[in-house]
Amino acid sequence: QLYGSEARWRAMLDGVASGQPAWLDVASRLKPAAARTVPVSQDLTVAVSRALERAPANVLAILDAAFDTDDVCSLNTLEDSLGPDYHAALGTVERREQAVSRVDAPALAARRDDCLEFLRELKGEVVRNRQVWFPAR
């Protein structure tokens, strides 16, 4: 039902992207059912990855449960969610990298380090694939 209403679905995704714990909990609860529908699952993963910029510690806390660190931090096969502009995409990855690097909670150190590794990999892919992913207009 939620996915069937574009306005409600977008509002929910924006809530998840805020990084607030209650919204991340909603995403975590929806993820198992969403896994049966690829676009729904991808939308949730992208929303969680967007939350890295706003509330990285909250996102790291839910990784490796409902959401895979690789998928969220490297956007594994969802690179197009960064948009069509090279500079904007690179800036997004760099903001996420900076936000995650500031997380200093010892309990999240391993997830932070894994996420940073995946973000650095994504940044390298953005640069390496500039011509293919972001063709000149």
Q: What are 67's strand-pairing partners? A: 63
Nearest partner of 23 among 33, 15, 31, judged by Cα: 15
pLDDT of residue 32: 87
Cβ 63 vs Cβ 107: under 8 Å: no
* pTM (2 d.p.): 0.93
pLDDT of residue 137: 58
pLDDT of residue 5: 76
pLDDT of residue 47: 97
Cβ 32 vs Cβ 81: under 8 Å: no
pLDDT of residue 39: 85
pLDDT of residue 135: 87
pLDDT along the chain (137 residues), means of 10: 80 97 95 83 95 98 92 89 94 97 98 97 95 84
Type of residue numbered 92:
T
State whether residue 134 is helix, strand or coil: coil
